[in-house]
A and B are shown apart, each in its own frame.
Chain A
Amino acid sequence: MRRAAILLLPLALVACRQEMAQQRRLDTEGRSSLWPDGAAARLPPAGTVARGALAREAAAATPPAVTPALLARGQERYGIFCAPCHGPVGDGDGMVPRRGFPRPPSYHSVRLRAAPAPYFFRVITQGYGVMYGYAARVAPADRWAIIAYIRALQLAQSAPLAAVPDAREHLP
């Protein structure tokens, strides 16, 4: 009898739990058995509008003033989100099209050089053709920053030589 009790002792170790290290809480992007999709994070119910969302949307409709800081931000965001397909200079020769993705149109085409800024904003937000929308990934303010940088790219590819007086010395 006593021997049997000793053999059962290791079972007591099972009761030792790391309650501090693994607390009974839902972690960010963790799992939960409460909902059928198994995720702890919830999406807002369909048709709901977040507080302040309409005001933010209205504020995002007007492009901000173009400053060097905005262009720098745009350059950084363009490098993260756009360059993989549109290429570093915006001609559509990014690494992803090189690997087989349909090649996007060049920003330096006549059509896109003439396209107004809100058109670019709409395309970034909603997507276009095989391009997915970036509404969830690029904040409205960053979309304007990216558009400002696209304008800089367009200018850089078609600026008259007279606009950059120092450039002639560097030309071959």
Chain B
Amino acid sequence: MQGDPDDLRSPRDSVHAQLFPRWSTLVARLALFALVLVPLGLLGMLMALQYTPYVTGQGITPDQPVPFSHEHHVGGLGIECRYCHGGVETSRFAGLPPTHTCMTCHSQLWTNAGMLAPVRQSLAEDRPIRWRRVNALPDYVYFDHSVHVRNGVGCTSCHGPVDSMPLMRQAAPLTMGWCLDCHRDPAPHLRPEAEIYAGHWMPPADQAARGAALLRHYGIRTAHLTDCSVCHR
């Protein structure tokens, strides 16, 4: 063997030393953590995504065949909810008005308005207007409007300030957690009978006492409000 006598390392050793620099240990440790944390993080993001408006539809305003304004009809003219949504007190579905209801006024008002052409066409052809659903629940939820409005839950508690919405949007997330927020503790949301259809209702300062009294008034048994079969069958 001839060469530098000071170099005590064999050529093989020097190759090994260059293959793994000192920081590679840190990288290997971080990689081990990432192996666990990255899938967990992705899973968490996927779960969090379910509560974003992107999935729940909260705040979304679907395009409608006629740009009907609740702000004008309810807020401006003072037409009550039940004038059009007549099924709300007696059935599961609040009901959309037949074209006949629209034409009660629009046979005389805005009779040539272009935006009302689909309404006149619907009446002439005897075909219902194809409104697009704003608040949709999954088919395995058996929501009933009548039981809510007859037990102290007002329209705007779920539908938002309808009388200030030029176009109808989904006001609430409509997630199961959101339903349960009220089903677990309904008293803060309960209204007296005369205020169910009020456009703007804010709980009064003494709502704690009123809510307890309203629970008794409506005969609401909170113990069973979160039973599965209340909403699912």
Which residues does A use to contact B, with CB under 8 Å? 18, 20-23, 25, 27-29, 31, 37-39, 79-81, 84, 95-96, 99-102, 130, 132, 136-137
Contacts of A96 in B (CB 8 A): 77, 105, 109
Q: Are A29 and B139 in contact (CB under 8 A)?
A: no
Q: Which residue of A lies closest to B194 (CB)?
A: A76
Q: How far is the CB of B88 from chain A (nearest CB, A)?
A: 11
The number of chain B residues touching the other chain, given as a range, is 20 to 34
Cα A79 to Cα B108 with chains together (Å): 21
Q: Are A99 and B108 in contact (CB under 8 A)?
A: no
Query: Tally of A-B residue pairs with Cβ under 8 A?
Result: 60
Interface of A is mostly: loop
Question: Does B33 reach chain A (CB closer than 8 Å)?
Answer: no
Q: Are A130 and B83 in contact (CB under 8 A)?
A: no
Cα A23 to Cα B103 with chains together (Å): 34
Cβ 8 A contact of A21, one of B79, B100, B107, B138:
B138
Q: Are A20 and B108 in contact (CB under 8 A)?
A: no
Contacts of A37 in B (CB 8 A): 126-128
Question: Does B130 reach chain A (CB closer than 8 Å)?
Answer: yes
Question: Does B101 reach chain A (CB closer than 8 Å)?
Answer: yes
Cα A29 to Cα B100 with chains together (Å): 16
Q: Are B96 and A29 in contact (CB under 8 A)?
A: yes
Q: How far is the CB of A139 from chain B (nearest CB, A)?
A: 9
Q: Are A137 and B86 in contact (CB under 8 A)?
A: yes
Cβ 8 A contact of A136, one of B77, B92, B98:
B98
Cβ 8 A contact of A81, one of B83, B98, B105:
B83
Q: Are B139 and A22 in contact (CB under 8 A)?
A: yes
